[in-house]
Amino acid sequence: MSEGLKIMTYIKGAKNARPKSYFTDLIVQNDYIATACQNNLREGYVRDAIKSNTHIFVMYTERTEQVTGRRTKPTRAVVTPQPTGFILARKEADEQGPYYYIDVICAHKYGRELLNHFLTFAGNTSVALSSLPSVLSYYPKFDFEFRKSCAKDADVVAFPASLTRLIEGLKTAGGLPKTTEEVYHHDEYLDFMVELHNHDLNKRTDGDCRLKAKNFTKKKLMESDCGDEGYTMFRCRK
């Protein structure tokens, strides 16, 4: 882990050093959610996720300030945490057994280190998440696959070579999409999102987002924002 980075953890039912309210205040302070989540998640969604999830991981650095007290009290050093990212997760289970579901992961710096810390915590337990369109190429680097479960017969959707070539070109040009809206400008992303949708990996299933196969098009995907809630991925235990 990079020098100066620390992680504090809250787990429901465990003996925690700080109450959940402390973590809530740390995450929702000022405009931190918008910064960490790069405006891809509404603050209301994150606030609800803090309430509904049982595991909270906050990565932070420390800032030391000299605070002057009253005349009878000397100046003292006060150390305050400065969050750089957070994970909200919970434990779920299916026919293959228990797994961790990462509901929210946001980091404007050091996201790789935050996720690696959580995967180390999870150990041999499988981990699932919903990948937003702008980071579809990110999680396969951590052995996540586009699949509905860890069942041996579960369909696994391969990452397309055409999208890989596009992403490499965008990296060279310094212009990787940062939001779902920016993703919509590229047919290669849209084609892959339609394929994921037709494999039932889309999390959003209301309105036209319920349509399947021949009735579902790139136009409907964009008009109904069907990728807004992401696509299911699993990192299955070995």
Q: What is the CATH number of the domain that holds 28?
A: 3.40.630
Q: Are residues 209 and 105 in the same domain?
A: no
Q: Are residues 32 and 114 in the same domain?
A: yes
What SS3 state is found at 13? coil
Q: Are residues 117 and 159 in the same domain?
A: no
**CA 92/CA 149 separation, integer angstroms:** 12
* pLDDT at position 119: 97
Distances (CA, A) of 220 to 41, 145, 186, 209: 21, 25, 15, 8
**CA 138/CA 146 separation, integer angstroms:** 12
What is the pLDDT confidence band of residue 105, given thresholds at 50, 70 and 90?
A: very high
* pLDDT at position 221: 94
> Which residue, 65, 95, 123, sits at the end of a domain?
123
Strand-pair category, 231-235 with 97-107: unpaired
What is the pLDDT confidence band of residue 68, given thresholds at 50, 70 and 90?
A: confident
> How much is the average pLDDT of 58-70?
80
Residue 63 has pLDDT above 70, yes or no: yes
Q: Are residues 143 and 188 in the same domain?
A: yes
What is the pLDDT confidence band of residue 223, given thresholds at 50, 70 and 90?
A: very high
Looking at the DSSP bridge assignments, the partners of residue 234 are 128, 145
Count how many domains the chain has: 2
Q: Are residues 160 and 118 in the same domain?
A: no
**pTM reported for the whole predicted model:** 0.89
Looking at the DSSP bridge assignments, the partners of residue 89 are 55, 102
Q: Are residues 115 and 21 in the same domain?
A: yes
> Which residue, 123, 142, 166, sits at the end of a domain?
123
Q: Greater confidence, 40 or 200?
A: 200
Q: Are residues 72 and 140 in the same domain?
A: no
Residue 51 has pLDDT above 70, yes or no: yes
> Which residue, 101, 123, 145, sits at the end of a domain?
123
Q: Are residues 176 and 113 in the same domain?
A: no
Distances (CA, A) of 108 to 91, 102, 112: 25, 17, 11
Domain that holds residue 218: 131-238
Q: Are residues 49 and 149 in the same domain?
A: no
Q: Greater confidence, 17 or 212?
A: 17
Q: Are residues 137 and 71 in the same domain?
A: no
What is the pLDDT confidence band of residue 113, given thresholds at 50, 70 and 90?
A: very high
Q: Are residues 6 and 97 in the same domain?
A: yes
Q: Are residues 8 and 77 in the same domain?
A: yes
Q: What percent of the chain has pLDDT over 70?
A: 95
What SS3 state is found at 217? coil
